[in-house]
Every structure is written in structure tokens, then in C-alpha cells.
């Protein structure tokens, strides 16, 4: 038996899985639940339907409640706090009656190039294609009829939070992926809001941009409570009680920072799974504007440089599933849970430079690599030893190559310094593989913790715990440093000299052949 009213629940909508994690007073996971899902390409746009969102959330929560009952023999009636997280950015718009006006356009889309370029020039601040304002302005440029009827624009986490509490709010980290954030004002940048309104004034829309954006709340603030309608929406059995406080909803970048404790300047985290991004907390704001680098914020509002890769493990995953088919066709009975770590470990037997093999894992466009459209591509030299080890090493090298390009830019152009780099997410789940690959790729030590595979939902639970457990005047930085990670066990992978030299050769070839990847975009 456990005291469920001392537990905290974090739920995150990831790219391929919705996951819930319940943590105890010591911040350690007690139970979990999940639901697998996939986005769909409809009319050239990557989308999730709201039906999938709703059903996936309930399925995930039901899985968690069943885990709690199986482990502890208790119904999940009440917890101390809940936090909702989701894939950053994207475009969810509704009219005044709450009706969805356009399909949910996700972070994966690279269809907003003209809008992102125009806003970047106007603001003198990089607006990535994923950001909500880029999707909005592209809809304006496209002349889409629904724009004039917009009453609210939010993100996936903001939408679910509103369904649970009735409050139209987002956390600071999530807000900074919708529109430039002003740390001094604690809100969206007022000057740039005015610039956007002036840019669109001749369109005659009945709204101003700030009117349709959600309220912005920093970590630790109360963001409403679970309503009776929200409880019934989340838990169809009627067991969960209303009245539970919720913290500000966050994006997966914010939860990644929380899950690694990297919220102080000169610390950085790498979240690597279906997609990947590095988050480097800055000592000062960047001096330049770079289309390859997002400038976002920690959940407490500190500036962060973000190098984002739309795809990380998806291509390696696809190849492993192909190899699993070969195993099954030969009469083998190994499941994917066995084969994934086996093939990951096999990669460590490959040549440090992969024997001349290259993998471009681009399922969609990659702005950091200046690739507008995704075309997964595998290349090798004619004399490359085509071994399983070399092949798998090339796949894992390619999974983090786009991050390496972004990190190189920050070091060369802005001289960004990092004292500590931590990794989390599925890429790091097999001990001694993902962290070593990344350490060699970046030529920096990479740490992981026991919670490396928990990722975002655990980080979201930590943010919810901070809201209800913080002491007067206690900052998020102090809470995570002193009360969550003070005694955490870390495994540090130092760059291997041969591996780092091999990756340097790999990335040199990778850069040289990027034109082939860009040219492949013509393939229909």
C-alpha cells in the first residue's frame, strides 16, 4: 500500500508513445502506463486527429491505473498534482465555441518555409518552421478561410490542459516554442507581437495575436485544478476525483531539461528518441540570428539554445524491424525487446568510421542540415566492409549527426561553453551504447542517469512536484539540484579517442554528401 495522495502524475504526448509516470515523495517512479500511436501524412501534412489524442490519453491513463492496482492493490482515486506535456510547437486552432478549425499540424511539418523566413527577417529572431506563429502566418499567406474565425491558438499540451482544467494557459518553455518570449516581461515579446499585428493589419481579422494566445505561467505557479468534466474525460471509469491541482503544461523541451536537472547556465541536455534536440542553457542571449538554432527558455525562463533534429532513431528503428523480419523468416523467435539492445550493442563492434558508410535518417526536412524534404538515404564506398556492426554503427552515428551540426555552429559562432551534458530518452536506453556514441560524436563527456529511459513524463512529474512541494522562495534550479538530483547516480561516458576520430571522419564525409540528400528530395 502507498499513500497515493503523496504521489504526483506526469503525462507526456510523445511522437510515437503517450506515457504516464507516477512518482513518490522521493521523486522515484512508482508506476507507469503508455499508449502507442503514430502521426499520419494527410494531403502532405503530418497530423494527429483529436480522436486519436483523446483515445490515446484515456488508454494511457487506463494503463497507468491498472499498473497501480496490480502493484499496490489500490484504485487510483487521487494524487497530489498532475502535469501535462506534449511535443513542442504545432498548430491547434479553435473558434469561439471550441470547434477545431484545422487539422493539428505537428512539429514534424516543413511546410511553413515562406512564413518562417518572412517572420525571421521581420523580427531579426529565428522563427523555426515548427513554431506555432509560423504555422499561423503560413495559413494567412495561403489564404486559408479559417484564420478569420480563430478564437484560440494553442499547443497539444495546452489543449489537453484546457480540457482537464478549463484554463487556457501554457508554461514558459512551451510558450517560447510558440512565439519569442520576453524574460523581463514574463510573457510573449510585446514588441514583436505589435510587429505581427501591423504585418497582418490589412487582412481585417477580428483578433490581435495576443488575444488568441494562451496565458503564460512560469514553473511553480498554479495552473488550475481538475474539473469534474476533466476527471471524467481522463478517467472513463469515474474513479479519479476532481480538485487535483495542475501545474503549467510544458513542451517536451522543458520536460527534457527538468528530467536531466539541466536548468542552470553552462548545463545542457540531449533528448534523443524519435526526434532529438540538444538544449544548452546560456549565460547570455545569443548575439546572432541563426536559422539552424532555436532560442527557447527553461520552464523558469532562462534563455536556451536549441539544436533540433526532426528525426533521430526512426530510420534505425525501421532497419531493426527489417532485420527482425529476416530473423523470423529464418525461424528465429527473438522479439523486438531482445533485438533492439542486441543490434545497438552490435554497433559498438563496428569500425570507428563505420568503414565508409553513411546514413541520412531524414524522414522529414531538417532545417539544421538545410534539407527541405526528408528522404532516408544510405550510402557506402564500394570497398566498405558491409558488416552488420558497421551498418548499425552508421545508423546510430547518423541518428545524432544533425545535432553535431548544430552544436558545431554554437561553438564556432557564439563560443557557447558547456560544463555538463546529460542524455535522456530511448536512444540511451541500452547501457554504454547511445551515451558513448554521443560522447564520441560531440567529443564531450556525456552523463546518463538511471532515469535516462523515463524521459519527458518523469520530467513533467518533477515540474508538478515542484509546484506542490517547493518551499517559500525556492527556485526550480535549487529544487532540482538540491532535492531531486543531489544523490543521483550518474554514469559518465568519456569520448573514446578512436571513436571521436572515427566520428570526425564520418561527419566530414556526411557534410560532403549532404548535397546528395538534398537532391534526393526530387524523388517522388
Rounded distance between C-alpha atoms, residue 344 and residue 361, angstroms: 16
Q: What is the pLDDT of residue 379?
A: 95
The whole-number average pLDDT for the span 366-384 is 88
Q: Can you say how many angstroms the Cα of residue 366 is from the centroid of all Cα atoms in its chain?
A: 15
Residue 272: per-residue pLDDT? 86
Check residue 499 and give its pLDDT.
Answer: 97
- Res 207: pLDDT: 98
Q: Which domains occur in the chain, in start order?
A: 255-311+416-497 (3.30.420.40), 314-399+502-522 (no CATH)
Q: What is the pTM of this model?
A: 0.83
Which of 245, 337, 255, 179 is closest to 14 using CA atoms?
255
pLDDT of residue 12: 97
Q: Band the pLDDT of 456: cuts 50, 70, 90.
A: confident
Q: Distance from CA of residue 269 to its chain's centroid?
A: 12
pLDDT of 184 reads 93
Rg, the chain, Cα only: 22
> 3-state class of 106 per DSSP?
coil
Task: Give CA–CA dist 463/430, Å, rounded.
Answer: 26
Question: For 98-122, how does the pLDDT look when each residue is reduced to its tens digit (9 = 90+)?
Answer: 999 999 998 778 789 999 999 999 9
CB distance 461 to 523 below 8 Å: no
pLDDT tier at 453 (50, 70, 90 boundaries)?
Answer: low
User: Which residues, other chains included, contact 121 with Cβ-Cβ below 8 Å and sequence gap of 6+?
Assistant: none
C-alpha cell at 207: 483578433
Question: Could you tell me the three cell numbers for 80?
Answer: 497530489
Alpha-carbon distance of 38 to 41, in angstroms, equals 10
Amino acid at each position: 500500500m502507498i499513500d497515493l495522495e503523496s504521489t504526483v502524475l506526469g503525462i507526456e504526448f510523445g511522437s510515437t508513445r503517450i506515457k504516464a509516470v507516477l512518482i513518490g515523495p522521493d521523486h522515484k517512479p512508482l508506476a507507469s502506463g503508455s499508449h502507442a500511436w503514430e502521426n499520419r501524412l494527410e494531403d502532405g501534412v503530418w497530423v494527429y486527429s483529436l480522436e486519436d489524442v483523446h483515445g490515446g490519453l484515456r488508454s494511457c491513463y487506463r494503463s497507468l491505473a491498472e499498473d497501480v492496482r496490480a502493484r499496490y492493490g489500490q484504485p487510483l482515486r487521487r494524487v497530489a498534482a498532475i502535469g501535462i506535456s506534449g511535443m513542442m510547437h504545432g498548430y491547434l486552432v479553435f473558434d469561439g465555441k471550441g470547434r477545431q478549425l484545422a487539422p493539428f499540424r505537428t512539429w514534424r511539418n516543413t511546410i511553413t518555409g515562406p512564413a518562417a523566413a518572412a517572420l525571421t527577417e521581420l523580427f531579426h529572431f529565428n522563427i523555426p518552421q515548427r513554431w506555432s506563429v509560423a504555422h499561423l502566418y503560413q495559413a494567412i499567406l495561403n489564404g486559408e478561410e479559417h484564420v478569420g474565425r480563430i478564437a484560440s491558438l494553442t499547443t497539444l499540451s495546452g489543449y489537453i490542459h484546457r480540457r482537464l482544467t478549463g484554463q487556457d494557459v501554457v508554461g514558459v518553455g512551451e510558450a517560447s516554442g510558440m512565439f519569442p518570449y520576453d524574460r523581463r516581461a514574463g510573457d510573449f515579446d510585446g514588441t514583436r507581437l505589435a510587429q505581427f499585428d501591423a504585418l497582418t493589419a490589412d487582412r481585417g481579422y477580428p483578433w490581435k495575436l495576443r488575444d488568441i494566445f494562451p496565458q503564460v505561467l512560469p514553473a511553480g505557479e498554479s495552473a488550475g485544478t481538475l474539473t469534474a468534466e476533466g476527471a471524467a474525460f481522463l478517467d472513463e471509469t469515474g474513479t479519479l476525483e476532481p480538485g487535483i491541482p495542475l501545474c503549467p503544461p510544458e513542451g517536451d523541451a522543458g520536460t527534457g531539461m527538468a528530467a536531466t536537472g539541466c536548468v542552470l547556465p553552462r548545463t545542457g541536455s540531449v533528448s534523443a528518441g524519435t526526434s532529438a534536440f540538444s538544449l544548452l542553457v546560456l549565460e547570455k542571449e545569443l548575439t546572432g540570428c541563426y536559422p539552424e538554432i532555436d532560442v527557447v527558455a527553461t520552464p523558469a525562463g532562462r534563455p536556451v539554445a536549441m539544436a533540433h533534429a526532426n528525426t533521430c532513431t526512426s530510420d534505425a528503428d525501421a532497419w531493426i524491424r527489417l532485420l527482425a523480419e529476416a530473423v523470423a523468416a529464418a525461424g528465429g523467435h527473438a522479439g523486438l525487446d531482445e533485438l533492439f539492445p542486441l543490434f545497438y550493442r552490435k554497433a559498438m563492434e563496428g569500425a570507428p568510421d563505420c568503414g565508409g558508410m553513411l546514413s541520412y535518417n531524414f524522414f522529414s526536412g531538417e532545417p539544421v542540415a538545410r534539407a527541405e524534404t526528408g528522404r532516408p538515404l544510405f550510402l557506402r564506398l564500394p570497398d566498405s566492409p558491409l558488416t552488420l556492426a558497421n551498418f548499425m554503427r552508421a545508423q546510430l552515428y547518423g541518428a545524432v549527426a544533425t545535432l553535431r551540426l548544430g552544436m558545431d555552429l554554437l561553438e564556432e559562432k557564439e563560443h557557447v561553453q558547456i560544463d555538463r551534458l546529460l542524455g535522456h530518452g530511448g536512444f540511451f536506453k541500452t547501457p554504454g551504447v547511445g551515451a558513448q556514441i554521443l560522447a564520441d560524436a560531440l567529443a564531450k563527456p556525456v552523463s546518463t542517469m538511471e532515469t535516462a529511459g523515463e524521459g519527458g513524463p518523469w520530467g513533467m512529474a518533477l515540474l508538478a512536484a515542484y509546484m506542490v512541494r517547493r518551499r517559500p522562495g525556492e527556485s526550480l534550479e535549487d529544487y532540482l539540484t538540491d532535492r531531486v538530483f543531489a544523490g543521483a547516480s550518474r554514469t559518465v561516458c568519456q569520448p573514446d579517442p578512436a571513436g571521436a576520430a572515427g566520428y570526425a571522419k564520418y561527419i566530414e564525409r556526411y557534410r560532403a554528401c549532404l548535397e546528395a540528400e538534398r537532391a534526393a528530395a526530387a524523388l517522388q
